[in-house]
Amino acid sequence: MPEKIGPNSVITRSTSVIDSDIDGETVMMSLQAGQYFGLEGIGQRIWHLLESENRLQDICRRLVQEYEVTDAQCERDVRAFLTELLEQDIVAVREPA
């Protein structure tokens, strides 16, 4: 089972995923699993925020500024989304040093 993602967890993209923006959608392929994934909207925005490693709380802080969402709802939804990506080995999570 993947680690739990906490507010200070540092999230990075997996090196086994390639991605491209096509017609307003981000299309990703997991080289490890041989699966394709597509992202739009907020999921796509989160993926773009992960171009460099980022903490969960920093991602949420940014999204709360850009979208009409409460801090609590944003953290809950982003954590669930990132947990799905983690389970598919699309992202990696570590605790800060």
pLDDT in tens, 19-65: 999 999 999 998 888 889 999 999 999 999 999 999 999 999 999 99
pLDDT of residue 33: 81
Average pLDDT, the chain: 91
The topology under which CATH files domain 10-88 is Arc Repressor Mutant, subunit A (1.10.10)
Q: What angle do CA 46, 48, 84 make, to 5 degrees?
A: 40
The answer to whether residues 91 and 23 touch, using CB atoms and an 8 Å cutoff, is no
For the chain, give every domain's residue range.
10-88
pLDDT of residue 1: 41
10 Å CB burial of residue 78 (0-12, 13-18, 19+) is buried
pLDDT of residue 96: 82
**Average confidence (pLDDT) over 6-19:** 93
